[in-house]
Structure 1
Amino acid sequence: MNLATPRTVAIKATPIDTEVKATVIDTEVFIRRPGEVRRARAWIGKVLAPEVASETLDDIRTCLSECVTNAAVHANAGTLVGVIVMWTAPDMVRVEVIDQGNTEQKKPHIPATLQEYASGGRGLNLVATLSSKWGCQKEGDGTGWVVWFQVADQQSCLIESS
């Protein structure tokens, strides 16, 4: 599902914010499997490369990779992962990754402790480090999760500070 033209929507951003006005840039649907992460990274690069600084795009790609990987690995219901990219401010990109849920209904979270040589468990910590804000909420029908993150465009920040 691709949107031909941007549209403005009201989204529930965080438990603190009741609604945030956002302009949708693009949407895409991926198959819930680890191999789709590469396609997601390429897609968001095409969508945002003309709009944001390369450093910002690198952070967004990394965060998206982690969120799509988590959806592929941890969601066990449905076969699709949706991604929505939007502006929430002139210099703030928000990305939402929507999965179709898991039978255990576990909330996405950052583990309290990590084993030094563990093969996983670092993804959302990386998202928290690279993004301005991140969070998760139940998807509209209550079965899946929306993991979202916001990244400030570093180019805009540099222009404002000079």
Structure 2
Amino acid sequence: MTSKTDQCATPFRLPASAPDLTLRFSSTPRGARLARRLAGQWLDERGVPYGSDAHDAVTLVVAELCANAVRHGCVPGRDFRLGMALRPGGVRVEVTDTRAERLPMPARPGERDADAESGRGLLLVAALADRWGWAPRSDGPGKTVWAECRLPGRRRAG
């Protein structure tokens, strides 16, 4: 059995031809939960093992972006979309919803009550991802919030 340190030091073996993931989910807490679980499975199947720091960070980013799509981007009767892609250097996560007027704005540290149970999701995304941002949806109303996370052992192109 390997220790967690050994697991983290071993480069992940990611196939160059790994297909991208694009799925639609109902804009409900159950849909967000399912998106997180399927994203975790997708990562594991591509060599980013369950329980590794990289796996945990990316699935937390997915969970926060999907929860925000449900809580702030929900239009009744409309789904949200999760997209994931392995890229040179890491993984890109995209969550698209249909509500353009609710733009993602992270809370400032100290802006929320210390005991509040919500309001820190984008702060977590900013801390875990190497880059994140948003763009207007190109194929209809809404927006896409994206994050990019480096993966150990995955080299950048160029």
TM range (shorter): 0.7 to 0.9
The amino acid of 1:34's aligned partner reads P
Give the equivalent residue in structure 2 for 1:83. 82
Gaps of 5+ in 2: 1-16
The unaligned stretches of length 5 or more in structure 1 are: 1-7, 9-22
Counterpart amino acid of residue 73 in structure 1: R
Count of residue correspondences = 133
1:110 maps onto 2:102 in alignment: no
Counterpart of 1:72 in structure 2 is 70
Distance (whole Å) between structure 2 residues aligned to residue 44 and residue 123 of structure 1:
18
CA distances 1:47-66 after superposition (whole Å, capped 9, x unpaired): 11132252211111101000
**Larger strand share, 1 or 2:** 1
TM-score of the two chains, using structure 2 as the length reference: 0.75
Paired residue for 2:42, among 24, 28, 47?
47
The answer to whether the Cα contact below 8 Å between 2:94 and 2:144 also exists between their aligned partners in 1 is: yes
The aligned residue for residue 5 of structure 1 is none
Q: 1:132 to 1:37 in 2, by over 3 A?
A: same
- The alignment yields a C-alpha RMSD, in angstroms, of 2.2
Instruction: State the 1:142 CA deviation.
Output: 5.8
TM-score by length of 1: 0.74
